[in-house]
């Protein structure tokens, strides 16, 4: 079991990202744009689509209908303005705190985003969604997401979760020299027999983790997530220094907390219309064989991760069929250490997704 206590990514650490947060100026049909120039086009409820010019001397070509002249590089929302008037349902961003808010009233003018009677906090901006430790929020970009992170301290591990992509490449440089690179092929196919081999659809792995990044203090980490068609998505990007706490034993359990509801009639029957589908929250239950000489380190880790989310990987090989079942980005509900044997202890661990 490897545990990655997450390093909080700050503005200073996120050196660059292809995900747009603050939109460029609105497209103007009379302006001539150069290659790689960016513009925004307003949609409904404050949504802005950002386009990048594919050619020089780009004049009078409407972005949404000129695919040889423009390509979409993502979406964002208008930046909040205290003098603008917003309708019910309009969304804005707080670019300082990287949050999206939605107006819950009409004629919303001059009301601070902290006024909960006027604004609803929706979640992180698209650029920062992959760093908020929640799988139900994701950074989404057409074709590819590229982020560059400068941690400013030693890290040796990274986990990407909630992926919708075909490949991901992690590159580490130190002093401008590449010292590590790894490309993960996310394409997969569960084949159990000849019928599956010929007819089963292809799929992609939603997660993987690496525990061998070189721990340079001046490391620069580049993460590139690529989809061969459609959007690339990343629900969580976690970096840090992992702690090995022992080997997961046989008989581990992968379970869920099911928040769906079913209403039954007086005779025990039910109707499909009464079923309300809600979130399944993954959980695991496992026992871990702990070497005696690591007991105090693990106890300190338990204290440090009290009510604190982390990545818990029961298996470190992402190609193993049990990897995803024993991967949790969440917190522990039970973490007992039974000092059962002279040279080994047994950890009883119960984890829940955040």
pLDDT at residue 273 in the model: 78
Distance, CA of 5 to CA of 305 (rounded, Å):
8
pTM of the model: 0.90
Q: What is the pLDDT of residue 62?
A: 96
Terminal-to-terminal C-alpha distance of the chain = 18
The SS3 call for residue 349 is: strand
For residue 301, what is the enclosing H or E element? helix 295-304
Cβ atoms of 312 and 240 within 8 Å: the answer is: no
Given this model, what pLDDT does residue 190 score?
81
3-state secondary structure of 333: strand
Tokens at residue 112, please? 């601070």
Instruction: Kindly report the backbone phi and psi dihedral angles of residue 283, in degrees, each rounded to the nearest multiple of 5, phi listed first.
Output: -145, 155
- Residue 308, by phi and psi: left (phi above 0), alpha (psi -120 to 50) or beta? beta
Give 247's contacts (C-beta < 8 A, 6+ positions apart). Answer: 1, 288, 289
One-character DSSP codes across 172-207: EEETTEEEEEEEEE-EE----SHHHHHHPPPEE-S-
Q: What is the pLDDT of residue 194?
A: 86
pLDDT value at residue 55 = 96
Q: Which of 15, 265, 304 is nearest to 152 (CA)?
A: 15
Token pair in block for residue 237: 């990007």
pLDDT at 279: 85
Chunked into runs of 10 residues, the chain (354 residues) has average pLDDT values of 96 96 95 96 94 96 96 95 96 96 96 96 96 86 97 97 97 97 92 85 92 97 96 96 95 93 85 84 95 95 95 93 95 95 96 94
Look at residue 308 in the predicted model and tell me its pLDDT: 94
| Three-state secondary structure call for residue 325 | helix
pLDDT reported for residue 192: 83
């Amino acid at each position: 079991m490897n545990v990655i206590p997450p390093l909080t990514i700050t503005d200073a650490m996120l050196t660059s990202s292809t995900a747009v947060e603050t939109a460029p100026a609105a497209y103007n049909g009379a302006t001539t744009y150069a290659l790689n120039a960016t513009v925004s086009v307003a949609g409904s409820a404050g949504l802005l689509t950002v386009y990048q010019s594919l050619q020089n001397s780009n004049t009078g070509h409407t972005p949404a209908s000129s695919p040889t002249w423009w390509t979409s590089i993502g979406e964002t929302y208008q930046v909040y303005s205290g003098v603008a008037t917003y309708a019910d349902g309009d969304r804005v961003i707080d670019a300082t705190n990287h949050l999206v808010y939605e107006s819950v009233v009409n004629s919303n003018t001059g009301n601070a985003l902290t006024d909960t009677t006027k604004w609803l906090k929706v979640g992180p901006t698209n650029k920062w969604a992959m760093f908020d430790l929640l799988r139900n929020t994701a950074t989404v970009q057409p074709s590819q997401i590229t982020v560059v992170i400068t941690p400013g301290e030693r890290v040796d591990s990274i986990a990407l979760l909630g992926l919708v992509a075909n490949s991901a490449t992690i590159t580490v440089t130190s002093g401008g020299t590449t010292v590590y690179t790894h490309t993960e092929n996310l394409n997969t196919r569960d084949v159990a027999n000849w019928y599956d081999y010929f007819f089963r659809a292809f799929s992609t792995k939603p997660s993987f983790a690496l525990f061998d990044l070189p721990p340079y203090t001046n490391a620069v980490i580049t993460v590139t997530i690529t989809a061969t068609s459609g959007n690339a998505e990343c629900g969580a990007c976690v970096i840090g220094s992992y702690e090995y706490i022992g080997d997961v034993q046989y008989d581990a359990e992968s379970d869920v907390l099911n928040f769906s509801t079913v209403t039954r009639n007086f005779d025990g029957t039910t109707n499909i219309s009464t079923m309300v589908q809600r979130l399944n929250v993954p959980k695991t239950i496992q026992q871990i064989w702990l070497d005696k000489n690591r007991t105090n380190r693990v106890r300190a880790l338990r204290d440090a991760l009290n009510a604190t989310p982390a990545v818990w990987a029961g298996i470190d090989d992402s190609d193993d069929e049990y990897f995803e079942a024993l991967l949790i980005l969440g917190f522990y509900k039970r973490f007992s250490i039974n000092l059962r044997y002279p040279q080994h202890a047994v950890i009883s661990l119960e984890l829940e997704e955040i």
